[in-house]
Structure 1
């Protein structure tokens, strides 16, 4: 396991056309096994998920985000893929559908880039258009 810096840039455009952008930074650990990469880090109060461990798993064609703790959720991204999942908190369970339109993972200048664009649905209703960029760099 090697220590890494993780920066997450997210943008959501809701159904009314309003956009919101956030940036978060974490320290975590990274490893590679059988051609797949893994990064683990602890969420903080800024993310609203304090007490949750997040694991990123990816290869060239797929990114999986797994959260365990105060929130349990597994979300999978692959070009054209529709992922049904259940976002579980201590208080409620929210059915979600993630439809990935764009996915690109690459390593350049000592840094991993995981880029995703997707539509998130809550039940049958669109929740918003999402863009996510995750940068992972050795420390």
Structure 2
């Protein structure tokens, strides 16, 4: 995929031949005929890491740094199992964990097992804020 610019937005229209799902099927090959023929699997409909990073580049080019960082964090989560994502989400809800160490352990897991450094940093920062606000029992 070529490096996208604002002129390429939306990518689904301008780069439908190079935006691919996790199995490598380009967006322009996902048709009703391909679905009915059994050539398309549910995995082909999931967004890919590359597509999220391309969206991040466009967001950053337009001065939307926060949105760009969100896309980059999303790209990190592509290979994280759904159960781990939901467990992390639940842990981040105030009052769900009783110690800073539980959040730090989850951040370490995401960083070391899944290479999700941006998400891990986000969780580490959340743990510090929760501690400052007295949201832990310890």
Q: What TM bracket, shorter-length normalisation?
A: under 0.3
**Which structure: greater helix fraction?**
2
Structure number, greater radius of gyration = 2
Structure with bigger RCO (C-alpha 8 Å, 6+ apart): 1
* TM-score normalized by the length of structure 1: 0.23
